[in-house]
Every structure is written in C-alpha cells, then in structure tokens.
A and B are shown apart, each in its own frame.
Chain A
Amino acid sequence: MGFILVQILTGLSSAASLFLVAAGLSLIFGVTRVVNFAHGSFYMLGAYIGLTLVALFGDLFGRGHLAFWSALLCAALAVGAIGALVEIVILRRIYRSPELFQLVATFGVILVIQDLTLWGWGPEDQLGPRAPDLRGAIMIMGEPLPRYDLVLIAAGPVVLLLFWLLLNRTRFGILVRAATADREMVGALGVNQAWLFTGVFFLGSFLAGLGGALQLPKGGANLLMDFGVLAAAFVVVVVGGMGSIAGAFLAAVLIGQLQAFGVLFIPQSTLVMMFLVMAVVLVIRPFGLLGRPELVGQGRQMLDDPLRPTGWRFKALALALVALLAAAPLWLGDYGLVLLIDILILALFATALHAIIGPGGLVSFGHAAYFGGGAYAAALLVKYAGTPMSLNLVLAPPAAALLALAIGWFCVRLSGVYFAMLTLAFAQIVWSVVFQWGTVTGGDDGLLGIWRSPWASDRVAYYWLVLACCTAGILALRHGLHSPFGYALRAGRDSPLRAEAIGIDVRRQQWAAFTLSGAFAGLAGGLYAYAKGSVFPNEMAIARSFDGIIMVFFGGVQQLSGPLAGAAALTWLKDILFRLEMWRLLLGLAVIAVVLLFPQGLAGFLKARFGRFFGIRPELSA
C-alpha cells in the first residue's frame, strides 16, 4: 500500500516540470496559434541559468533558502525575457504566415540556443545544486519519499491555481481568454495585440524556465535536455488539448503516472508507451482530453501559382542538368560523388514530402518514418531473407507505403497543427519500436553490412543507379501532381468545401497521396541504406523529419522544383558549415533568415528573377 502511494507521489513529482513546460507551450499556442518548437530550449536555458544564479546568489547572500529560491525565480524571469525577445524579433513578423513558417522559425531558434548554450556553459553535464535543507527523505507509510519531491508535487497545483487566478481575476487574463477563444476578437476590442502576444510569450517562456530551474535538485543541466523534454511536452499538450492549461495538468499527471508504473511492468518500452498513449487519445478524441476543435486554426494559406506548362527552354535546362549530373563522375572527385548521392536521395525524399506539404496542404512532421521505413525494409530483407539489392530496392517503396497507409488512416482525419503532431507521434512510435526492439532491428546498433550487389559496388555505378532512380522518382512525383489525382489533391487544399461539393473525398485523396509520398520516401530510404551500407534509428528520428521540412522550406513550398533546390542547398550548406565551430548557430540563423527574408524560398526567388526567360512567372506566389 505504502509502496503504491509513494509510486503515485513519485509520478506526481516527475509530472511537475513537465506540466510547467507544457502549460507554457499550451498557453502560447492558445493565444498566438504558434507551436513553439523552441520551448524545450527555454526549459534547458532555465536549468543552465538557474545553475549559474544559484552559485552566484549563494556567493553573494550565503547558501540559504532566500538565495536558492530567488535564484530559481530569477532564472525563470530571465528565460521569460528571452522568450519575449524571440517573439519581438522573429515571431511577431510571421503571425500571418502559414503555420509551417512558425514551426520552421522556432526550429531555427532551437539550433541557435543549442550552440549559444554550448558556448556559454561548455559541453560537460552539470550536476544541479541541492535545495537547502531538503536532502534525504521522509517516510510515508514506511516508504521513503525524497523531501524535494514534496516541493515538486505542490508546484503543479500551485501554478495551476495561480493560473486560474490570473486568467479569471485580471484584465490580462480576460484578454488571454478572449484571444484563446477567438483571436480576431482581440483586435476588435482595441487591444494592442502585439503586446498581448509578447506578454503571453514572456509568461509561457517563464514557465518553461521555471520548469527547468525547479528540476535542478533532481538532476542538473545538459545539452540534450531541449529535445528530451520537447517530445514529452508535446505529448502532454496534445493529449491535454492544445490551449487548455487544465488539460495540460491532467495529461502531465497521466503521463507521470504512466511512466512511474510503466517502469514496474514493462521496463523495456518506456519510450513507446508515451507516444502510444498520445496516439490512442488522438484517435478517440482528436482534439485532446480538454481541447476544443475550433482552436485548430489553419494558418493563412499562401496561394500557389497554377501549374503552367513549362516552356522548351525550361525542359532544355532540366535536360542539361541531368546530362551534367550523368557526367559528374568525369569531373567530380570521390567525395563530390558521395555528396551528390546524398543530395539526389534527399532531393527525392524532399520531393515526396513536398507533395504532402505543398500541394497536399498537410505539414507532415514525421516523414522520416517512411524514409527510415524504406531503409529498414531493405536492410531487414538483407538480414533475414538475403534477397539481392535490386529486389530489395523494389520492395522498399511498398513497405514504406504500407506503413504510410496504416498511419495515414489515422492522421488524415485531422488537419493543421494536429495533423503535424499526430504524424510526429506516429513517427516517434515507429522510431521507438525500432530503437527498443533490438533483437530484430539491432536497436541503436542499427543494421550493418547492407552491401551493394557486385555490379553496383563501385561508387560510380551506384551513383548512376541513384541518379536514374531519383530522376525517375522526381519526374514521377512531378507528373503525379499534374495528373487528375494531383489536381484533386490540390483542390482539397485550396478549398475543402468546394472539393467536397464537386464530389471529391478530400480525406481519401489525402490518404492516397500520403501513402504514395511514403512510397517515394521509402525508395529514397532504400537507396540511402545501400549508399551507406548501414541503417540506424536516426534515419527515423525527429531530426531527419526536420531536415526534410527545412529542405522543402529552403527550396520554396510553393514551387514543384523547390525540394530539389532545397536539398542541394541544405546539403551543401551543411557540408560547408559542418567543419566550422558553432555550425548549428549559423544554420539556425540561416533558417530564420530564410523565414523572414525569403519566404518564397530559393526556387521561388529564381522563378521571380529568371522565370520570364523560361516562360513561367509568379502569378499568385509573389
């Protein structure tokens, strides 16, 4: 009995930090409709700044309660200020853009903060300071419970109560609630919306910082904290219902208990559990436990140009490019070919993803699952069936398509941010299954020895194979978008009402497109596995999905040739930056700059600049 009670209390205490982070995330989303991917970074900053301030205040005022707790509070305030700064400098400019822009911009912020933290505090893990007088445990029904857990258990309800008072008893709170219910209304009330949003960002970031600072006595600070908490915080926000603080509390408690009892019964699958719960909740209640459907704002759509036939000049250019690429082994060194193979494969992946994001109008945040799915399909075939390369490359796309078919069935029932979150959740499920099912998938050791067939073992031969497959794949995808099927997909994005009114089942169209996109991503994955001779769970991880999105974004969401340009640009940029110190900072700044300054992307820019010569010009996309 005592054991179970203490286990419950332990679950509650580990829910506290999670709740604080999730509450901030949910608040920001509720008011501004921005999904702040950088929220995990604010949590990490709270921990690092807290660490420094505890030491500093300890030196200044002695190591008492006052110094310790005021240091944590000041750390949270500092993080709040940083959050407000990010809002003012970056996000304020893109509220009216599609949600993809905000996602990408906050991802840029993650990269920047990662490197700045590394630069400021160094790479070593830091052990957190203990809270004064709270070492050791108290006994509850004969079982020990660490004293500091009591602080954490109290923190959740206290913050929830303060929140309630703030939202119901202050003018700021009334405005926040009004904005959460109806964003347009705030403007109508004559409120300075800009400052309301900044205030909300301050508060949300403050909570994340507080969460990071409060967990210091339980652990410390390290550079992996940001992504670590991000995934969990998203699960909590989505399960609770985006925009609902009470929902976040409920979900945090649920997840906390799940973890606490999960390790007792299924200690090996801690990763899978959380995402499985999220998927189950979203399938049953698509808007979370306490969420409301009307909150799912589709960001303003950017208008694409109609698909015009390209002139002979453009076709000649494309042909010349392919010819140039085919001749690459003649003028490029070994490493150049390695890079080109990567670029071609990623271009195919990005083109497949773009079909869903651009013409499909659905931001898939988990496309790495199908890229990795294809890669693993090929690798598993090698390992367990011993089938030859050519067969495995043929089988990889249908395998990935099957995965996309199953996952897509759940996901296309939602749209906007919820679609993004659900695809992410499913990708994480796939990733964690691959990661933790070591006996079959090799776990994080990956699968090695994916040798190419003798006829393609030479790098040049394989390069030509990749060039042929990727060119064919990209052309097929391009043709698909020009086909009646592709038009129907775009129709569903342009106007779901109209599409339905002319007999188009938008979801079915999206489902089929998602599956097809998964197939091509799978082909890219299969080719990648043979290019590298190995497969690892990272090919399915969030970072790979992000890579895809950034490639699509760099190239220009509205242009069919965008992904090609994006893949080339990103791979090339990474190759240059990679050898520099603080490359993530530079990449992050580049990402933010593209969002703010070149929203039309590389291909959009080229189209505006040189399109006339090729008989194409921006009509709506400019």
Chain B
Amino acid sequence: MTTRRQVTAGVPRLAAIAALLFTTGSLAAEPIKIGDINSYTRMAQHTEHAKRGMQLAIDEINADGGINGRVIELISRDDAGEPGEAIRVAEELVSREGVDILTGTTLSNIGLAVASFAAQNKVLYLAAEPLADAVTLQGGNRYTFRLRPSTYMQAAMLAELAADNPATRWATIAPNYAYGQEAVAAFKAIMSERRPDIEWVGEQWPALFAIDAGAEVLALSAAEPDAVFNVTFGADLAKFVREGADRGLFEDTFVVSLLTGEPEYIDPLEDEAPEGWLVTGYPWDKIEDPAYVEWLDRYQAAYDDYPRIGSVVGYNSMLALGAALEKTGGDTDPEKLVEAMRGLEFETPQGLLTFRPSDHQASLGAWVGYTTVEDGQGTMRDWYYAPGEKYLPPEEMVAKLRPASD
C-alpha cells in the first residue's frame, strides 16, 4: 500500500530530478511546491487514483525539464473527509511546508472550505474534484478555480436525454447533505423547465453512508414513480442497487443517476450493476481518441492498473497548473498565477481545455450513457463525451450568484 499521508518521492520522480541535475546543473533551483489535500482515508477509491494521475503529470513535466528549470514537488495530506481537518492541513501546508498552490480535494464541503481558506490567505487553489456549484458560484472567489464539471453541468448533461423519456412521475433519492440537495435541486430545475408536464412525486433523503436501503426503496415504490433520479454513491449506492433489484423497483422504472458510470462506483457492483440507467461516468476502456489512447498506455505502463475518473481529473489538474506556471515563467506569485489561470488554455487527453474567466470553471466535460453489464462487470453503453463548455452555467446565473470580486 502506498503512503497516504505524505507522498514519498517515487522512483520516476527521482530519475527526473537526477536527469535535471545532470542536464541543467541548476542545483540551487528550489522546487515549486504544490500542496494536495485529499480524503485519502475516507474516499480512498477516488483519491488513490487521483494521486496517481497527479504524479504521472508531474513526472512528465519534470522529465521535460520542469518549469524554467525548477521541478514541481507534490506534497499530499489526508483531510480524513472532514472540512475542519482540511483547513488545518491547508494551514500546515502553507505555513510550514511553504507550498505555493493548493489543489486536490474530493468532497464538496471540503472544496468550499478550502476555497474560503484560499480567499482568506490569498493562495491559488485549484479544486480538482468537488462538484458543488457553490465552489465557483456562491462561494467563488478570485483565488479558486475548478476543473471537474459541476453538479449543475452534469445534471444538465443528464437532463438533456432524460427529458426525452416519456416518464412523467419522477421521484428522487439523494444523500441528505449539501451535494445531494444541490444535485436534486439542479436536476429538478432543469427538467421542469424542459418538461413542464413532469410531476415530482417523492423525495427520499437517506443520511450519507447510513442508508436504510430496504425502507428507502419501499418508500420510493410507494410513490409509484415512472422514473427515479439517484444521487447516492459509494456504499449507499451498492445497498440501494441491491434492495431496489430485489424488490423490483427498477423493473419498469427509468433511472437517471449521477456519477454511477464512473469506475469508482460501478466496478464494486460487479455483475449486479444495473442495466439501462442513464448516467454520467467514464468508460475508460472504450474511448478511442488517439490522444486519449496514448495517455492510457502511459498510465497503465506507469501503474499497472487502469485509470479511474480520479486519474483523469488528477492528471489534468497538474497539466493546468503546469501550463499556468509556464505562463508566469515559473513565478509563483498568487496574483500573477490567478491572472494566468483566467482563460488559460491547456492541452489534455480530453482535448484543449480552458478556464472561463467569469466563474473560473474549466471546460472539462463528462461521458454520458447507459449502464450495462459485460463479462460480469458493470460498464457503459451508447455513451458519448459531453464537452463541458456546452453545459456551463449561463453567464446571467454566474452574474447573479457569484459574489463580485476582482
């Protein structure tokens, strides 16, 4: 098992540093330190792969000569899934380790907390994973940028197809915390706009990671919906899928489910993965874009494992920061970095991405499709890549929700 608390220098990185020393001889060049905060113990299925993605990108940047002769160093810390702990860790990274940039973070509430910390302490923060819209809208600030498509964007992607379904009686189930509530609200709003005839017949709010699946499924069935919007994930999702299948909830019900197609969540379900759910996800082995396939080979060569969505996000987050640092010429002054990040364009295995200046949201998209089981393993069928720029929150929405900041 790899160290979760602090990343020790991997062999490839050592090689890269050695190469640097011999080629440039810049012995005195201080590394550029990037602080990574992630829920390594609480959300391990996500974060381990995110770290691999980040490390791969850093190794490649460093092997390429680093930024102006300076290597990038990643310092990782566990936040134990608690925002308070994340703040503590952020303080430690900034004031003791002297990191120049903060990144990582998985859970939405942690993303919001670190965003607030970044604004208070004037440190550049790239929120890689957290989905909450508030990270770039209500809680958005000058120093915070976000890579992954937000709850609103993913709900919009799903609603596009979901609106074509004839179902009119919809029920929702979501973990009873901010992310779940936000996702349900966003999906309801977009769906009701497209389909005024839809009736919302029930909503269930199990406590996060404490679902009483049998009772929840019964309560959902009692509302007799034609369609269900699901936001549960992780252990809750597994229990929900099992109970729902046993109790026949999914037999004639159209299910739309956030993130369920990501390997992090669908793989543990094995052959019990649901059939025909409309989901956002990541069909890692089916994408045939040459740039992606080339990256996939590199990734699998480095880790002898297939990538998860965390790997993609982690890798791209380092590409983004690398590009920003290139743009400032290696200057780590936060104000200059912020200016560099706004409208920054960077090439990734998912194509050319950019950060929208108005809300600091990146244009990374997601894969939308239907779940299915192949060879005893859950995966996606009939999927396509939904580019993020198509689903960004409208500018008026940004203007309304995002606090004014320079």
Footprint of B on A, CB under 8 Å?
A: 3, 6-7, 10-11, 13-14, 118-119, 122-127, 135-137, 144-149, 218-220, 222-224, 228, 259-264, 267-268, 270-271, 333-335, 338, 342, 435-436, 438, 442-446, 448-449, 451, 532-534, 536, 538-539, 578-581, 583
* B114-129 interface bits toward A, Cβ cutoff 8 Å, 1 = contact, 0 = none: 0011001000000000
A218 pairs with B242, CB closer than 8 A? yes
**Sample (9) of A-B pairs whose CB atoms are under 8 Å apart:** A10-B215, A10-B218, A13-B214, A127-B272, A144-B247, A218-B242, A268-B205, A446-B112, A534-B84
A538 pairs with B247, CB closer than 8 A? no
Known A260-B218, A270-B207, A436-B207; further 17 A-B contacts with Cβ < 8 A = A3-B218, A6-B218, A10-B218, A11-B215, A146-B247, A260-B214, A262-B215, A270-B206, A335-B91, A438-B181, A445-B109, A451-B120, A533-B120, A534-B116, A536-B109, A539-B84, A581-B3
Closest to B248 in A: A144
Closest to A262 in B: B215
B215 pairs with A228, CB closer than 8 A? no
Closest to B5 in A: A579
Footprint of A on B, CB under 8 Å?
A: 1, 3-6, 40-42, 44-45, 48, 82-85, 87-88, 91-92, 95-96, 108-109, 112-113, 116-117, 120, 132, 134, 139, 176-178, 181, 203-210, 212-216, 218-219, 222, 234-235, 238-239, 242-243, 246-248, 268-270, 272
Closest Cβ–Cβ distance, residue B238 to chain A (whole Å):
5
In the bound assembly, the distance between CA atoms of A448 and B116 in angstroms comes to: 6
Q: Among the listed A136, A222, A333, which residue makes an inter-chain contact with B235, where contact means beta carbons less than 8 Å apart?
A: A222
A267 pairs with B205, CB closer than 8 A? yes
Are A445 and B178 CB-contacts (below 8 A) given A532-B84, A533-B87, A539-B84?
yes
B243 pairs with A146, CB closer than 8 A? yes
Closest to A10 in B: B214
Are A218 and B84 CB-contacts (below 8 A) given A10-B218, A436-B176, A581-B4?
no
In the bound assembly, the distance between CA atoms of A534 and B91 in angstroms comes to: 13
Report B-chain residues with C-beta under 8 Å of the C-beta of A438.
Answer: 177-178, 181
Closest Cβ–Cβ distance, residue A19 to chain B (whole Å):
15
Closest Cβ–Cβ distance, residue B262 to chain A (whole Å):
14
Report B-chain residues with C-beta under 8 Å of the C-beta of A436.
Answer: 176, 207
Are A219 and B218 CB-contacts (below 8 A) given A135-B246, A335-B96, A534-B83?
no
A126 pairs with B3, CB closer than 8 A? no
Are A538 and B84 CB-contacts (below 8 A) given A127-B269, A220-B235?
yes
In the bound assembly, the distance between CA atoms of A446 and B134 in angstroms comes to: 13
A333 pairs with B268, CB closer than 8 A? no
Closest to A228 in B: B210
B248 pairs with A137, CB closer than 8 A? yes
B234 pairs with A125, CB closer than 8 A? yes
In the bound assembly, the distance between CA atoms of A222 and B210 in angstroms comes to: 11
In the bound assembly, the distance between CA atoms of A224 and B109 in angstroms comes to: 18
Closest Cβ–Cβ distance, residue A437 to chain B (whole Å):
11
Closest to B45 in A: A124
In the bound assembly, the distance between CA atoms of A597 and B41 in angstroms comes to: 30
In the bound assembly, the distance between CA atoms of A538 and B42 in angstroms comes to: 14
B177 pairs with A123, CB closer than 8 A? no
Q: Specify the main secondary structure of chain B where it touches its partner.
A: helix
Report B-chain residues with C-beta under 8 Å of the C-beta of A539.
Answer: 84
In the bound assembly, the distance between CA atoms of A534 and B118 in angstroms comes to: 12
Report B-chain residues with C-beta under 8 Å of the C-beta of A118.
Answer: 41
Report A-chain residues with C-beta under 8 Å of the C-beta of B132.
Answer: 445
In the bound assembly, the distance between CA atoms of A338 and B117 in angstroms comes to: 14
In the bound assembly, the distance between CA atoms of A119 and B238 in angstroms comes to: 23
In the bound assembly, the distance between CA atoms of A276 and B218 in angstroms comes to: 24
Closest Cβ–Cβ distance, residue B252 to chain A (whole Å):
13
Report B-chain residues with C-beta under 8 Å of the C-beta of A267.
Answer: 176, 203-206, 219
Report B-chain residues with C-beta under 8 Å of the C-beta of A578.
Answer: 5
A580 pairs with B176, CB closer than 8 A? no
A334 pairs with B96, CB closer than 8 A? yes
In the bound assembly, the distance between CA atoms of A538 and B86 in angstroms comes to: 12
Report A-chain residues with C-beta under 8 Å of the C-beta of B48.
Answer: 123
B113 pairs with A123, CB closer than 8 A? no
B212 pairs with A263, CB closer than 8 A? yes
B203 pairs with A228, CB closer than 8 A? no
Closest to A543 in B: B82
B41 pairs with A123, CB closer than 8 A? yes
Q: Among the listed B1, B109, B212, which residue makes an inter-chain contact with A14, where contact means beta carbons less than 8 Å apart?
A: B212
In the bound assembly, the distance between CA atoms of A444 and B175 in angstroms comes to: 12
Closest 4 CB pairs of A and B: A123-B44, A335-B96, A334-B95, A146-B246
In the bound assembly, the distance between CA atoms of A421 and B155 in angstroms comes to: 43
B96 pairs with A446, CB closer than 8 A? no
A335 pairs with B92, CB closer than 8 A? yes
In the bound assembly, the distance between CA atoms of A442 and B272 in angstroms comes to: 36
Q: Among the listed A7, A119, A536, which residue makes an inter-chain contact with B218, where contact means beta carbons less than 8 Å apart?
A: A7
In the bound assembly, the distance between CA atoms of A368 and B268 in angstroms comes to: 36
A448 pairs with B139, CB closer than 8 A? yes
Are A125 and B238 CB-contacts (below 8 A) given A335-B92, A338-B91?
yes
Report B-chain residues with C-beta under 8 Å of the C-beta of A136.
Answer: 246
Report B-chain residues with C-beta under 8 Å of the C-beta of A534.
Answer: 83-84, 87, 113, 116-117
B134 pairs with A124, CB closer than 8 A? no
Report B-chain residues with C-beta under 8 Å of the C-beta of A435.
Answer: 177
B95 pairs with A335, CB closer than 8 A? yes
In the bound assembly, the distance between CA atoms of A220 and B84 in angstroms comes to: 29
Closest Cβ–Cβ distance, residue B156 to chain A (whole Å):
22
B41 pairs with A449, CB closer than 8 A? no
B6 pairs with A579, CB closer than 8 A? yes
A219 pairs with B238, CB closer than 8 A? yes
Q: Among the listed B45, B112, B239, which residue makes an inter-chain contact with A448, where contact means beta carbons less than 8 Å apart?
A: B112
Q: Among the listed A135, A219, A536, which residue makes an inter-chain contact with B82, where contact means beta carbons less than 8 Å apart?
A: A536
Closest to A436 in B: B176
Closest Cβ–Cβ distance, residue A452 to chain B (whole Å):
9
B214 pairs with A149, CB closer than 8 A? yes
In the bound assembly, the distance between CA atoms of A435 and B269 in angstroms comes to: 29
Report A-chain residues with C-beta under 8 Å of the C-beta of B247.
Answer: 137, 144-146
Report B-chain residues with C-beta under 8 Å of the C-beta of A445.
Answer: 83, 108-109, 112-113, 132, 134, 178
Report B-chain residues with C-beta under 8 Å of the C-beta of A261.
Answer: 215
In the bound assembly, the distance between CA atoms of A262 and B210 in angstroms comes to: 14
In the bound assembly, the distance between CA atoms of A222 and B82 in angstroms comes to: 17
Closest to A126 in B: B268
Report B-chain residues with C-beta under 8 Å of the C-beta of A14.
Answer: 212, 214-215
B235 pairs with A125, CB closer than 8 A? yes
A536 pairs with B113, CB closer than 8 A? yes
